[in-house]
Amino acid sequence: MTGMHLAELNIGRLLAAPGDPRVAEFMAALDRVNGLGKRMPGFVWMMEGSGEPGTGNTETAIGGDPRFVANLTVWESVETLEAFVWNTVHRQFYERRQEWFEVLGEMHFVMWWVEAGHRPTLDEALDRLDHLKAHGGSDHAFGWAWLKDAQLYRERACVAS
């Protein structure tokens, strides 16, 4: 979309507190994976946590729960986000997510289009996620399947690790 960028929110709930050895491998890789994302062609912006390196955005404490990790980013296009998610080391961590995260019984990922230059807030992103949960995919809030241009998702999302 001309003049538009793709925003995405992905939340997860860690199996243990951020300092717990059970999630140490994931936490130790956050800076490396996020740093790679920031250097990818098409990366625009990432919500930064105020915590120390390796803590991600765990201090956002969604619903007051410090085990929630929120990742909120903006990308130039579907293709650039897909390239990061499915063609980099990020994919290896995605495929191992059950080692560090609870299986959430509800949607925890949402995307939407934003005007170029807009930096969404976590509250805005959570509102979009709530809209997706309540109304399903629409131009207001959607998942990968809503995007016709999401080719890598269709090819690689369901591949077993």
Amino acid at 27: M
**3-class secondary structure, 68:** strand
CA 138 to chain centre: 19
The pTM (predicted TM-score) of the whole model is: 0.86
CA distance 31 to 108: 22
Residues 116-131: tens digit of each pLDDT: 999 999 999 999 999 9
Q: What φ, ψ does residue 114 adopt, rounded to 5°?
A: -130, 155
Instruction: Give residue 31's pLDDT.
Output: 86
CA neighbours within 13 Å on the CB side: how many for 112?
24
First vs last Cα of the chain: how many Å apart? Answer: 33
Q: Quick one: pLDDT band at residue 148, thresholds 50, 70, 90?
A: confident
Q: Which residue has the tokens 């996020």?
A: 34
Q: Rounded to the nearest 10 degrees, how much is the dihedral formed by the CA atoms of 17, 72, 160, 30?
A: -50
- The reported pLDDT for the residue numbered 101 is 93
Domain ranges, ordered by start, for the chain = 4-156
* 4-156 CATH: 3.30.70.100
Q: Does the pLDDT value for residue 92 go beyond 60? A: yes
Contact assessment for residue 49 and residue 56, using Cβ atoms and an 8 Å cutoff: yes
DSSP 3-state assignment of 8?
A: strand
Residue range 26-53, pLDDT digits in tens:
988 988 898 999 999 999 999 986 555 5
